[in-house]
Structure 1
Amino acid sequence: MSWTLRVSFLSLLATVLILALCSETDSAAVPDDAEAAEPKGSVRHVFVPESDASNFFKQRGRRSAKRQAEVQAEQRVWLAARERRREHNEEQRDEFENYAEEEHDEQDERTRERSEQYREYHYDGLYPRYHWH
């Protein structure tokens, strides 16, 4: 036997021996029917008995009326979304108003400068200068 075959055989044998002696291997096996009836740990929080599950679907069918708590919860979610939408629209409007005001001011400044340059260039000295106040 070559040395690589011996090393792989020994590592495989050690792995099988560790798995056989380890107590955790029971959890990897398929549980018996007796163990399946008693859920352990967090499993019992996830699953509900079949009768409770069927009662849930019978209680709240597609066309049945909603309970008051459900209606109030939906209204709270809807109102919160509406408030967020309103705040977003208000922010957008404020940003646009600020932008429009700045653009208007810049346009006024450019117009004033252009008309001032025009007056200075075309001034013939016959009329008194017109000044912006």
Structure 2
Amino acid sequence: MSWTRVIVLSALTTLLILTFSSVVENAAVRDDSKPADHKGAARQVFMPESDASNFFKRRGRRSVQYYEFQAEQRVLMQKDEQRREYNEEQRNEYENYVEEERDEINERSRETNEQLREYHYDGFYPRSQWFH
């Protein structure tokens, strides 16, 4: 019961602090009596057509270094892909090797166990309860 009282009191305290703080006043919507200047904002965002076409013409010409950089990046990406494929192939080969080795070891141990059973079951000794 005491925990619920502590939680309720702390929640109420936080609510009162937020209600009377200046943060809430700053977050309030301004009440401007004059309308916003939409054409001025449009002038700031948009530029004349001639300036825009000049901008894109300048941006259209790329330097030789840019194309060299792109070619180097393509070569690096190809090398990374080849390295990734090589590593994946090596990992798969190793996993196959380990699986075959494990199977071979299991087969050898199974054969050894069978030979031991045959030795113990040859008729000279009665069958043991552990070898079925």
- Report the TM-score, using the length of structure 2 for normalisation: 0.50
- Report the TM-score, using the length of structure 1 for normalisation: 0.50
* Higher RCO (CA < 8 A, seq sep 6+): 2
